[in-house]
Amino acid sequence: MSGRAILCLTFDNMGNAANIGIREHAAPLHDDPGLTLGYPRVLALLDELNLKASFFVEGWNALHNAGLIRDIVARGHDIGLHGWVHEVFHKLDAIDAERVMSDSLAAFRTIGVEPQGFRAPGGRRGQTTLALLHKYGIGFDSSADEQAVATLPARLDHGIPNVPWLWQLIDYYQYHMHPDGPRSPAQYEDLLNATLEQVVQEGGMMTPIFHPFVSGANDEAFGVLRRFLVTAAADGRVSILTARQAAETVV
């Protein structure tokens, strides 16, 4: 893909599945700002710009937010697996990892949705994941491992395409986990724009990870997301792809 600039557009998490996973909550919070504000804003923005994205969603949401998942699919976006309740996937033993994947797939299929790929909650995929993706017919992986620095898709074990990403391009990482302290929206915006320009100049791909409860529910953060996507969509040098489409570029 030398000389070709790709923005791979992805979003993670839905509702309070992660809080369920760490036992902070026992039931859905339907007034969660990620659901009431974040997702509607994000989906409206993508419609406005005629962009498609991959949404990596926990299987628990097929039980509790089925209507939203169906709406995402009806708008032409992809759904990927993101664990059951956002378990730290690489810490699961083999049987628990398979249970999580099997149950998540089953839950999505009960609402008529076929997940296209997988992104490990917590980022790292673990030792058994690629074999599980092969076994269950999942088309691609978008997880990392301990040495993940690549920015271009590549084929891994069992022929599974991997769509990589870098930690520094994650909104939650910049706003909440940065080792030098939380970055401001302006700092994250500068990073996104500089990375996009580098990809345009050198060729390759950037894969930011946005979260509707972060970049959708906060006004300043949503402003960053809007301006970045407006700029990228207007740049004829940039192809904006879903993670599934990016995976399909692997020879």
Identify the H or E element spanning 247: helix 243-247
What fold does the segment set 5-247 form as a domain? TIM Barrel (3.20.20)
Taking only the tens of pLDDT, the chain with its 251 residues reads: 445 899 999 999 999 999 999 999 999 998 999 999 999 999 999 999 999 999 999 999 999 999 999 999 999 999 999 999 999 999 999 999 999 999 999 999 999 999 999 999 999 998 899 999 999 999 999 998 755 556 789 999 999 999 999 999 999 999 999 999 999 999 999 999 999 999 999 999 999 999 999 999 999 999 999 999 999 999 999 999 999 999 999 97
What is the model's pLDDT at position 145? 73
Query: In angstroms, what CA-CA distances link 115 with 7, 80, 96, 106, 188?
Result: 21, 5, 19, 10, 30
- Which amino acid would we find at residue 190? D
Structure tokens belonging to residue 4:
């070709």
| H helices present in 116-218, as ranges | 129-136, 171-172, 185-202
What is the model's pLDDT at position 147? 52
Question: At 139, phi and psi to the nearest 5?
Answer: -70, -30
The gap between the terminal CA atoms of the chain, to the nearest Å, is 10
- Domains of the chain, by residue range, sit at 5-247
What is the model's pLDDT at position 1? 40
Walk across the sheet containing 10-12 and list its strands: 117-118, 78-81, 54-57, 10-12, 209-210
C-alpha to C-alpha distance for 117 and 100, rounded to whole angstroms: 14
Strand partners, 141: 118, 162
- Which amino acid would we find at residue 129? T
Residue 203 · residue 4 · CB < 8 Å: yes
Beta-sheet strands, E only, within 87-203? 117-118, 154-155, 161-162
